[in-house]
């Protein structure tokens, strides 16, 4: 009995010591992490000023709702160039046209890198196209993408195929026979099909369930990637081991998308003839084959998957949301819609639009430009980083510093826009009604990382918008007016709304 008690006492003592040592170890690790985090929060010498930050988490909580608006308000206090602490990640914020131009245009190469954020590393291993670090890999992938969009995404053949997609789009709307419907699904499918023509060489039908599901996941991830959870994950990557939270949903979605992309890449590469590319995938595989002996070349099957996914999402989100916002605002302002109808009828006289008609339709162009300005589809662009030490406006910005360009502040910069909070297409017209280009208009960003699909996007917007308004009059059902407050994410998209497309009498 005594020996048993002695053994139990020994076990209890060993267990108690183990728990004590474990708790001590955990407390020591947490203390070291906190010290490390606090040291990271110290601004480098000569760094731009900024608002005071909370210990450990910094200014992350301030970005939980409308971060672009918060940043613009802070610029009124600290100037066009200021800094935020995103959980120990010292970040420079560029606000207003002047600051963004001096950095992204005058020092284009310096501000062309991407930050090495844990989220990007987890999602794409800093590979692919959009998140690739500045250097040879980015140059190789950017050149291939630009050439592919130029070769497969322009010219008369591409124009005809977009025009055909417009007809599929209008016929799908016609099936609603003037009854209320949510336009998101149809607009997203129509727009994504234009990018699909470049990447895969063909379109997907609007009832292709697998592809539609992938697009829905993409859209959800665009929202999740700008959530507070994403910022917290970048600051504290050990959150990967926390089994709940939006970051886990993000990773789950990404895996599903990449698995699906791998399957359709294999499908559309079948029947490929080397050096006779039919689409972007063929062109990429050609580059892979040519560089098999050069191990420093970045073309790989994994980077192909990342690149295809990024091109689909980049080619879909901006144009889709622009058209959805345009439909909403035309229904909201019937007088603007009437002017659009008059110009379309006058110029086209019942025939389908051509690209040459853009020059003859200044008011249509003005409405599209005002939609891009007012709705700020990508308010913070895609995060950048400095590729080397630099000095801007007397501030020292070290190499590798994360940089956020607040494009929303450019489009609401009162130095360049009169009454920027008012939706007014006429601001893009001169006294004679001619369309005018304005400098402080950067929806596709600027510099080395500007949107490579800008020309194709502009062509899409014009053709989809013009053909839509040529056939239909847009109005809200029963006089109900949806909210114009955006759904927050990496892009600003409208909240779900219903609209009626009434056949016009021509």
Tell me which of 128-132, 180-184, 317-321, 335-339 is least confident.
128-132
Max avg pLDDT among 56-70, 86-100, 147-161, 242-256: 86-100
Indicate the pLDDT class of residue 21, thresholds 50, 70 and 90.
very low
pLDDT at 36: 45
The tokens describing 19, both together, are: 């728990």
Nearest to 369 by CA among 465, 300, 256: 465
- Helices (H) and strands (E) in the chain — how many of each? 16, 10
Query: Phi, psi (5° rounding) for residue 22?
Result: -65, -45
Residues 28-39 pLDDT 10s = 444 444 444 444
Give the residue-averaged pLDDT of 118-134: 89
- Facing residues of 214 across strands? none
Spatial distance between the Cα atoms of 175 and 239, rounded to a whole number of angstroms: 47
Indicate the pLDDT class of residue 11, thresholds 50, 70 and 90.
low
The tokens describing 11, both together, are: 């076990």
Can you give the pTM of this predicted structure?
A: 0.90
Q: Which residue's entry shows tokens 């300005």? A: 373
The tokens describing 105, both together, are: 């245009």
Q: Domains of the chain, with CATH numbers? A: 60-503 (1.10.630.10)
The tokens describing 291, both together, are: 């560089």
pLDDT at 156 exceeding the cut of 70: yes
Residues 67-86 pLDDT 10s = 999 999 999 999 999 999 99
Q: Which residue's entry shows tokens 């709307």? A: 173
Question: Cα separations (Å) of 305 from 109, 251, 259?
Answer: 27, 15, 9
Query: Phi, psi (5° rounding) for residue 149?
Result: -65, -35
Q: Which residue's entry shows tokens 């801007």? A: 392
Beta-carbon count within 10 A of 82 CB: 22
Spatial distance between the Cα atoms of 367 and 423, rounded to a whole number of angstroms: 9
Nearest to 412 by CA among 44, 125, 1, 68: 68
Tell me the three-class secondary structure of 339-369, residue by residue. HHHHHHHHHHCCCCCCHHHHHHCHHHHHHHH
Query: Phi, psi (5° rounding) for residue 92?
Result: -95, 130
Residue 410: partners with Cβ closer than 8 Å, 6 or more residues away: 96, 97, 100, 440, 441, 442
pLDDT at 471: 97
Residues 359-405 pLDDT 10s = 999 999 999 999 999 999 999 999 999 999 999 999 999 999 999 99
Q: What is the mean pLDDT of the chain?
A: 89
Kind plus residue range of the DSSP H or E element containing 442: none
């Amino acid at each position: 009995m005594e020996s048993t008690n002695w053994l139990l006492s020994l076990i209890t003592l060993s267990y108690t010591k183990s728990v004590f040592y474990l708790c001590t170890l955990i407390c020591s690790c947490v203390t070291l992490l906190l010290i490390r985090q606090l040291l990271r929060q110290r601004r480098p010498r000569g760094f731009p000023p900024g608002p005071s930050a909370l210990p450990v988490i910094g200014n992350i909580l301030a970005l939980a709702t409308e971060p672009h608006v918060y940043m613009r308000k802070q610029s009124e206090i600290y100037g066009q160039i200021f800094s935020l602490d995103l959980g120990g990640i010292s970040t420079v914020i560029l606000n207003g046209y002047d600051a963004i131009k001096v950095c992204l245009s005058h020092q284009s190469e310096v501000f062309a890198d991407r930050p090495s954020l844990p989220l990007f590393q987890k999602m794409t291993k800093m590979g692919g196209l959009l998140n690739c670090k500045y250097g040879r890999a980015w140059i190789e992938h950017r050149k291939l993408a630009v050439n592919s969009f130029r070769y497969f995404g322009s010219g008369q053949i591409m124009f005809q195929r977009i025009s055909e997609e417009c007809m599929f789009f209008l016929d799908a709307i016609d099936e609603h026979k003037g009854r209320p419907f949510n336009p998101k699904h149809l607009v997203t499918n129509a727009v994504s099909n234009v990018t699909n023509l470049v990447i895969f060489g063909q379109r997907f039908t609007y009832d292709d369930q697998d592809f539609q599901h992938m697009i829905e996941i993409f859209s959800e991830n665009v929202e999740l990637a700008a959530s507070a959870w994403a910022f917290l994950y970048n600051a504290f990557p050990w959150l990967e081991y926390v089994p709940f939270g939006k970051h886990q949903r993000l990773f789950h979605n990404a895996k599903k998308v990449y698995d699906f992309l791998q399957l359709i890449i294999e499908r559309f590469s079948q029947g490929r003839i080397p050096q006779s590319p039919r689409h972007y995938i063929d062109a990429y595989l050609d580059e892979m084959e040519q560089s098999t002996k050069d191990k420093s070349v970045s073309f790989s099957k994994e980077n192909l998957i990342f690149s295809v996914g990024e091109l689909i999402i980049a080619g879909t989100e901006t144009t889709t949301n622009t058209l959805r916002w345009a439909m909403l605002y035309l229904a909201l302002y019937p007088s603007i819609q009437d002017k659009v109808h008059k110009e379309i009828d006058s110029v086209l006289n019942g025939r389908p639009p051509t690209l040459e008609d853009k020059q003859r339709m200044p008011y249509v162009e003005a409405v599209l430009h005002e939609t891009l300005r007012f709705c700020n589809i990508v308010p913070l662009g895609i995060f950048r980083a400095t590729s080397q030490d630099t000095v801007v406006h007397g501030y020292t910005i070290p190499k590798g510093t994360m940089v956020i360009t607040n494009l929303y502040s450019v489009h609401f910069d009162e130095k360049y826009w009169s009454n920027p909070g008012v939706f007014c297409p006429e601001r893009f017209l001169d006294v004679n009604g001619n369309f005018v280009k304005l400098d402080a208009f950067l929806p596709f960003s600027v510099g080395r990382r500007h949107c490579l699909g800008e020309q194709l996007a502009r062509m899409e917007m014009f053709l989809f918008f013009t053909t839509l308004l040529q056939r239909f009059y847009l109005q809200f059902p029963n006089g109900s007016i949806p909210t114009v407050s955006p759904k927050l994410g990496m892009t600003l998209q409208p909240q779900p709304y219903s609209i009626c497309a009434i056949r016009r009498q021509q």
